């Protein structure tokens, strides 16, 4: 098996163009996809205004005041919308999110309770939401601090100067207000919490589309790489070397698993290079959970290699290999989330996706980089991938045996 | 050395081999002669273990092939019909890979590779990629790859297809050298002259049947094929033919200006024939001899030419 592997690796490395394509093509595609999905942060580009909805269920003077402040902020395009309609519009991706002032907002502000306000957002617009959040917090924090200060000053004046005329006490409070405004105190949002909920998915702490780009593209490219196994096997068949291998004292399964070992090695190397490249070029923190990352790289490579030897075993002609290869790669990539992120797909497609290796691979990488799940939570996905690879290998052994018999 | 007992093999409705039997002695060059599709490659595939016969048995060096595949594989080297080499690897790299499959220790393998490269005359080109080789050179490396593990038996499936006469002669020389060193060789071909030149024993195979087997002389006897003496003559008339029938006791055929005599021994019989033809009043314009060949044996046995 090792000899087959060494020979195949030597053959692979001899073809410089193929080696270059194996690594260069996915790097180019990852870069392109990252740009396309907005996964790369650029300093020079002037952003378009962020389209935001506000749903005012409180309909008070305070909420209107806050909304007018939001509306005046450059770079934010604020639109008022009814709550239900706003949620639908955000879900459809027309707006990055909706800031909801629930009934009782003003009362809570006056009484110093937690504010009934929530930012419902589109997970796919994570970057814009990340920019909006501190702006909202700042404005709301100032309001809350001002309200608290007013309350304290009024209480103080009432307690110590009960006979002070109202005009004077109002002037004092206004003066305190303007000083508070001028100080632009950084601690205005202290204790202030803005509840944030994704309308479509989980929490995040890194760039979703960068993960989508690396995981989606890398697995699709792995499929392209291992599909060349089928072509390689056909080359061996056509030039007679497969027959010659069978003349020698090695078993047919050894040939097949030697090929799989080659595919596995190339896949592991390719995925590793992809992640290292994404780390160096785009700052993806690959050190977040290294054991889980290693497990995912190994299991994804194993499953993808299983597809490789399946294609090599099932194809009896070059046309079959091309046909099966294209079919498997495009179908798996399309339904599994390599081409289009799963969360923008309809629910039925998300259910179908589980049959593809891409789905389990991409979700596993999401678990590591997006959901920050511990290694123990990654294991089920790893097991599914290993199971897929094992089942495909077993089917391939049977198919290859039949394929080999036809050589005689 | 090799006993093939009553083997049959079918592919769907096609009977590739039907009750084929033959024995091959140690040190023989055994020719399997037949047209394309006769069953030669199927026989080689069965002997080389990659194909199982539907029925019958094969013994190699006393080992039942069906139950001793691994042991038999070590005794056998196979030179396939295709040039089964990795084109982008060098000759040395190819030989190293193929040799390594036979568990030859690395240092021993290196020495063996150099020896076979010397034998096939390509030592100086050992580091060149196979794709830069001529067809004849590739054939020689194809052969070298099969003998690295020093097999006792070499199966050669039409090893000279598509090469020039010079390369073919070089391959013949190598085969004869290997045979002189004790290697038993099974050689399939549809070239009569190759079988005649190389083989001690020949089996003629057609439509999956072994029609006849033996040395060339034995095959001539089996088929009853004789040497032919051809005479170009003046126009033959009935009178001439009547006299020839009376005086000559050999089978002969004729057309208006040609007589063909079937001779057991042309050298001994030629002067008497010339004398009788002249006595019969026939002028001789030319004489041509045609020795019995595998071609004529094959024609006689199968009723068709080998390349039909």
Lowest mean pLDDT among A116-125, A289-298, B236-245, B275-284: A116-125
**Position A32 confidence tier, pLDDT thresholds 50, 70, 90:** low
Across A13-17, A207-211, B151-155, B228-232, the highest mean pLDDT is recorded for B151-155
**Among A residues 269-298, those touching chain B with beta carbons less than 8 Å apart:** none
Averaged pLDDT score across all residues of chain B: 88
Predicted structure pTM score: 0.68
What structural domains does chain A harbor?
A: 28-39+206-407 (no CATH), 50-200 (3.40.1710)
**Position A380 confidence tier, pLDDT thresholds 50, 70, 90:** very high
**Position B195 confidence tier, pLDDT thresholds 50, 70, 90:** confident
- The pLDDT score that the predictor gives to residue B176 is 93
**Position A176 confidence tier, pLDDT thresholds 50, 70, 90:** low
> pLDDT tens for residues A96-122?
889 999 999 888 888 877 889 999 987
Pairwise CB contact (< 8 Å): A3 & B45: no
Three-class SS of chain A: CHHHHHHHHHHHHHCHHHHHHHHHHHHHHHHHHHHHHCCCCCCCCCCCCEEEEEEECCCCHHHHHHHHHHHHCCCEEEEECCHHHHHHHHHCCCCCEEEEECCCHHHHHHHCCCCCEEEEECHHHHHHHHHHHHHHHHHHHHHHHHHHHHHHHHHHHHHHCCCCCHHHHHHHHHHHHHHHHHHCCHHHHCCCCCEEEECCCCCCCCCHHHHHHHHHHHHHHHHHHHHHHHHHHHHHHHCCHHHHHHHCCCCHHHHHHHHHHHHHHHHHHHHHHHHHHHHHHHCCCCCCCHHHHHHHHHHHHHHHHHHHHHHHHHCCCHHHHHHHHHHHHHHHHHHHCCCCCHHHCCHHHHHHHHHCHHHHHHHHHHHHHCCCCCHHHHHHHHHHHHHHHHHHHHHHHHHHHHHHHCCC
- The pLDDT score that the predictor gives to residue A180 is 57
Nearest to A3 among B82, B84, B97 (CB): B97
**Position B263 confidence tier, pLDDT thresholds 50, 70, 90:** confident
The complex's ipTM works out to: 0.80
- The pLDDT score that the predictor gives to residue B129 is 94
- The pLDDT score that the predictor gives to residue A230 is 77
- The pLDDT score that the predictor gives to residue A202 is 47
pLDDT at A359 over 80: yes
> pLDDT tens for residues A40-86?
555 554 545 788 899 999 999 889 988 998 888 877 888 999 999 99
Pairwise CB contact (< 8 Å): A408 & B45: yes
Mapped onto helix, strand or coil, the DSSP state of residue B123 is helix
Lowest mean pLDDT among A86-95, B5-14, B144-153: A86-95
Count of other CB atoms within 10 angstroms of residue A236: 21
Label residues B224-246 b or e (16+ Cβ within 10 Å = b).
ebbbbbebebeebeeebeebbee
Q: Are the C-beta atoms of B73 and B102 separated by less than 8 Å?
A: no
Average pLDDT over residues B136-141: 92
**Position A147 confidence tier, pLDDT thresholds 50, 70, 90:** confident
Pairwise CB contact (< 8 Å): B80 & A244: yes
Q: How far is CA B132 from CA A11, A14, A362, B129, B167, in A?
A: 16, 15, 45, 6, 16
pLDDT at A190 over 70: no
With an 8 Å Cβ cutoff, is A13 touching chain B?
no
Q: How far is CA A274 from CA A14, A134, A355, A375, in A?
A: 22, 33, 24, 21
- The pLDDT score that the predictor gives to residue A27 is 76
User: Which residues of chain B have a CB within 8 Å of the CB of A408?
Assistant: 42, 45-46, 50-51
Averaged pLDDT score across all residues of chain A: 80
């Amino acid at each position: 098996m090792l000899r087959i592997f060494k020979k195949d690796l030597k053959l692979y490395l001899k073809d410089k163009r193929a080696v270059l394509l194996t690594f260069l093509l996915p790097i180019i595609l990852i870069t392109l996809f990252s740009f396309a999905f907005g996964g790369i942060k650029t300093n020079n580009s002037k952003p378009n205004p962020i389209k935001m909805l506000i749903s005012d269920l409180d309909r008070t003077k305070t909420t209107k005041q806050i909304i007018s402040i939001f509306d005046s902020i450059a770079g934010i395009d604020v639109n008022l919308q009814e709550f239900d309609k706003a949620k639908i519009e955000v879900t459809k991706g027309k707006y990055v999110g909706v800031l909801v002032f629930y009934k009782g907002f003003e009362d809570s502000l006056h009484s110093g309770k937690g504010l009934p306000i929530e930012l419902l957002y589109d997970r796919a617009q994570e970057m814009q939401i990340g920019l909006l959040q501190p702006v909202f917090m700042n404005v709301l924090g100032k309001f809350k601090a001002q309200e608290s200060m007013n309350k304290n000053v009024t209480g103080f004046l009432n307690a110590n100067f009960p006979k002070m005329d109202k005009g004077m006490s109002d002037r004092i409070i206004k003066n305190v207000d303007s000083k508070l405004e001028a100080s632009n105190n950084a601690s205005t949002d202290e204790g202030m919490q803005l509840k944030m909920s994704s309308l479509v998915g989980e929490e995040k702490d890194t760039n979703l589309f960068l993960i989508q780009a690396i995981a989606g593209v890398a697995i699709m490219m792995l499929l392209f790489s291992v599909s060349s196994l089928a072509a390689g096997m056909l080359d061996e068949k056509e030039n007679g070397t497969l027959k010659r291998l069978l003349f020698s004292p090695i078993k047919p399964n050894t040939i097949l698993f030697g090929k799989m070992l080659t595919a596995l090695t190339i896949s592991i190397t390719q995925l590793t290079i992809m992640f290292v490249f994404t780390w160096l070029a785009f700052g993806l923190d690959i050190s977040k959970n290294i054991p889980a990352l290693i497990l995912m790289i190994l299991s994804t490579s194993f499953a993808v290699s299983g597809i490789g030897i399946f294609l090599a075993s099932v194809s009896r002609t070059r046309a079959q290999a091309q046909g099966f290869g294209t079919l498997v790669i495009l179908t798996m990539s399309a339904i599994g989330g390599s081409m289009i992120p799963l969360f923008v797909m309809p629910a039925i497609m998300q259910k179908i996706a589980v049959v593809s290796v891409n789905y389990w691979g991409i979700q596993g990488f999401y678990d590591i980089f997006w959901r920050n799940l511990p290694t123990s939570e990654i294991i089920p996905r790893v097991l599914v991938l290993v199971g897929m690879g094992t089942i495909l290998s077993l089917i391939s052994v049977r198919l290859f045996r039949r394929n080999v018999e036809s050589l005689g | 050395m090799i006993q093939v007992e009553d083997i049959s093999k079918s592919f769907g409705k096609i009977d590739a081999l039907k009750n084929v039997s033959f024995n091959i002695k140690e040190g023989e060059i055994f020719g399997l002669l037949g047209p394309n599709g006769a069953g030669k490659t199927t026989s080689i595939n069965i002997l080389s273990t990659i194909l199982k016969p539907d029925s019958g048995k094969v013994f190699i060096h006393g080992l039942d092939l069906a139950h001793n595949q691994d042991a038999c594989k070590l005794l056998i080297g196979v030179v396939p019909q295709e040039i089964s080499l990795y084109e982008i690897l060098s000759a040395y790299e190819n030989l190293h890979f193929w040799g390594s499959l036979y568990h030859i220790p690395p240092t021993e393998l290196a020495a063996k590779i150099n020896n076979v490269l010397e034998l096939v005359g390509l030592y100086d080109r050992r580091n060149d990629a196979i794709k830069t080789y001529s067809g004849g050179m590739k054939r020689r490396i194809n052969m070298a790859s099969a003998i690295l593990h020093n097999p006792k038996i070499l199966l050669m499936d039409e090893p000279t297809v598509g090469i020039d006469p010079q390369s073919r002669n070089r391959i013949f020389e190598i085969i004869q050298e290997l045979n002189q060193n004790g290697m038993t060789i099974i050689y399939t071909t549809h070239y009569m002259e190759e079988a005649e030149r190389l083989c001690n024993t020949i089996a003629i195979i057609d439509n999956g049947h072994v029609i006849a087997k033996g040395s060339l002389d034995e095959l001539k006897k089996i088929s009853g094929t004789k040497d032919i003496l051809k005479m170009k003559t003046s126009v033959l008339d009935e009178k001439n033919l009547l006299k020839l029938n009376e005086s000559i006791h050999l089978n002969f055929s004729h057309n208006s200006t040609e007589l063909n005599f079937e001779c057991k021994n042309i050298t001994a019989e030629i002067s008497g024939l010339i004398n009788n033809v002249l006595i019969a009043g026939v002028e001789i314009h030319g004489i041509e001899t045609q020795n019995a060949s595998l071609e004529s044996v094959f024609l006689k046995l199968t009723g068709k030419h080998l390349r039909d």
